[in-house]
Structures are given as C-alpha cells and as structure tokens.
Amino acid sequence: MKNILGIRIEDLDTPVLLLDAAALERNLQKMAAYFAERPCQLRPHFKNHKCTRLARRQMEVGSAVGITCAKVGEAEVLANAGFDDILIANQVVGARKLERLVRIAEQTRVRVAVDHEQQALALADAARRANVEIGVLVEIDTGMGRCGLPPGAAVLSLARRIAELPNIRFDGLQAYEGHVVYVEDRAERRRLTIEAVGLAVETRQALEHAGLPVGILSGGSSATYDVTGSTDGVDEIQSGTYATMDWVYQRLAPEFELAMTVLARVISRPKPDVAVLDVGVKGCGHEFGEPQVKNDPDATIPFFKAEEHCVVQNVPDWQLGKVVELIPSHACTTCNLHREFHVIEDGRVVDLWPIDASGMLA
C-alpha cells in the first residue's frame, strides 16, 4: 500500500478518485433499512463501483441476497473474492465466454439472463460438458427497447423450453425499467415505473398460472427502488449507483448523498476568471453532462471534451495548485476509469480500496 494513509487530500497527487467513508456508509445503511422488513430484497449492482471491498460492505450491512454484475469479467472477480451468489444481468454469448462462465459455476452459484432459445441451448451444452448447473432468468422488455422478450406468451414459451434442458435451471425473470429511470418528475417516474413493472408481474402470474414456478423477479434501480421494491411480485432490486452517487442520480434520489468525487488540481490560470484542472474525459465520466464543482456554486464548466484538461469559469480567486473536487455526471464510467478509491474521513486518507474490476469489458 502506498504510504499516503493519514495525509490530507490537498497533499495527494492528482487526479484521484475520492470516496467519503461516512457518506458511503449512510447511503448503504439507508438502502439496507428500506428493504429490512420487506419481502423484496436488495441485490446491489457491482457495475457501479467495481470494488470488491465496497461490495463486501454492501453485503455486510444487510438485506442483500447476493450481488449483481454486468459482465463475465466482473463475475470472475467477484467469484475469486468469495462471493457466493452472483447474477450476471446480461446475456452471455460466445464459446470463450461460456468457457469462462462454467468455470465460475464451478466456484459459486451463478445466474445469467437469456432472451433467446439459442442462448439457452448453448448454456445447457456448456454446463453439461462441465458438469455444472447454471441458473437462468428470462429477460422481459417492459419498454426500454434493449434486451428482452415482449411480456407474455414469448416469455412463457422460452421458460418452458429452458425447463426441459439439462444443467440449466429456470429460476425466474428479469425486467429492468431503464426507460423511466431518468424521468425527473418523481410522481411521473412513479407512474411509469408502476406501469412497466406491472407488465413483468403480469407475465410472472401467467407463468405461474401455467404451472411454471417463478422463484425470482429481479430488476429496479437506485431511482426506482422505492416503487419497484414495494411492488407485490418483485423479489430483488438491482440498485447500484446509490452507493457512490453522481450529480445526475442525486437529483433523482436526493435521499442519498454524494459520496464520490474526482480530486483535481489547478494547473493553469489563462484568464483572470478561468482555471484549468488536470483531469479530463480520461478521468471523469461525463455521458450525462459536464462534471460539477463541489462546494462552489458559482464555478461553471462550459464544456468537457479534452482528454486531460477541464476548463472552469467564474473562479477569480482560485490559485495555482488549488485542489478541487469534481462531481461526475456518471459514477459508473468514472469508477471504470480508475484503479483505486482513496477512502477519506475528515479530509484525510484512511484507506485505499482497489477497484478490482475496472476495465473489465468482456
């Protein structure tokens, strides 16, 4: 470990990724408390932070039934770290990926999403040859227009086919209401979420009426957890961003705190009211907008396109060498750009947490 524990953040080399320990803990406790007395449980999404230390804390806090991830590479990291119930909330296709998937299944309980019979056949064949069993969730498209089958008959047909195949196990359904997550009006978001989740619940009921038990209906997000998570028939919520937050999600779910920032330093003062920081798009996710400056509402970032620089306006008093905390618009891609969290308390570094799965795209 680098010899930086205990030093002030002002003395860190920049740019680095900061994680406020107290804010993080309050976020984890708040989400766990919501699900503590509910039949629906939390399955946190690893893709937000990709850090097994943080994921372990999410499990320790309570109300979590397992962990969600997006890619086989993330699942490998989690399995090697000892996590014993992993959902890859995605389709796994290709011979190499299936070889890696069955090796994970040799270590731990793993499930994947499917939305096509060919995926199920390939999974079953790979699992049979490796003598393992893999759980399967049939994905439903409730309006996002990404992966998934239309609600209703097509889902029933695929679920029945999966139930006939060896070495894979029909465990239930996945439905992500991603098309409504970013609706800013909370009442409208609630209405649209109820509508979308209702399609998944109706499909579940149709399968159960046809004699096909549905053990799990999994979905949800950090912006819809309190709607999806209180809907009868939903068993798991895959919230992720609630742990770290970003400024876009914080507008959607203000009950959670901004726990993660990118620390940068002023390296140039080209004009009296302009400063340039030493971080750009290679160090701060910006898919949903320019980063914001923490604790300085007058400072504005007019554009954010350079690889290694960030221009900030309306900062006449900033001096060369000043450190500045930026709040990204997208936490997930920001974490993927870094290799470790500098965990801080009261402005000092108290720990370093590796972001074990950063860069895991396959």
| Banded model confidence at residue 3, pLDDT cuts 50, 70, 90 | confident
pLDDT digits (tens, 9 = 90+) for 27-40: 999 999 999 999 99
Q: Are strands 292-293 and 323-327 parallel, antiparallel or unpaired?
A: antiparallel
pLDDT digits (tens, 9 = 90+) for 264-309: 999 999 999 999 999 999 999 999 999 999 999 999 999 999 999 9
| Banded model confidence at residue 2, pLDDT cuts 50, 70, 90 | low
Rounded distance between C-alpha atoms, residue 175 and residue 329, angstroms: 25
Measured CA angle at 105 (ends 119, 82), to 5 deg: 135
Question: Would you state the structure tokens that stand for residue 217, as one six-digit string?
Answer: 């209906």
Span 308-316, mean pLDDT? 98
pLDDT digits (tens, 9 = 90+) for 161-197: 999 999 999 999 999 999 999 999 999 999 999 999 9
Residue 333, pLDDT score: 98
Residue 63, pLDDT score: 74
Span 313-335, mean pLDDT? 98
Averaged pLDDT score across all residues of the chain: 97
Q: Give the contacts of 154 (CB within 8 A, at least 6 positions apart).
A: none
Question: Would you state the structure tokens that stand for residue 352, as one six-digit string?
Answer: 């370093």
pLDDT digits (tens, 9 = 90+) for 52-75: 999 999 999 987 999 999 999 999
pLDDT at 351 over 90: yes
Rounded distance between C-alpha atoms, residue 233 and residue 204, angstroms: 8
pLDDT digits (tens, 9 = 90+) for 73-117: 999 999 999 999 999 999 999 999 999 999 999 999 999 999 999
pLDDT > 90: what percent of the chain? 98
Residue 62, pLDDT score: 82
pTM (two decimals) = 0.97
Q: Does domain 9-17+255-354 have CATH number 2.40.37.20?
A: yes
Residue 8's φ and ψ, nearest 5 degrees, are -70, 150
Please name which of 225, 216, 177, 241 lies closest in space to residue 47, comparing C-alpha atoms. 241
Q: Which CATH class is domain 21-244?
A: alpha beta
- Domains of the chain, by residue range, sit at 9-17+255-354, 21-244
Rounded distance between C-alpha atoms, residue 312 and residue 315, angstroms: 7
Hey, do 9-17+255-354 and 21-244 end up sharing a CATH topology, with the first three levels equal? no
User: 166: helix, coil or strand?
Assistant: coil
Q: Are strands 109-114 and 134-140 parallel, antiparallel or unpaired?
A: parallel
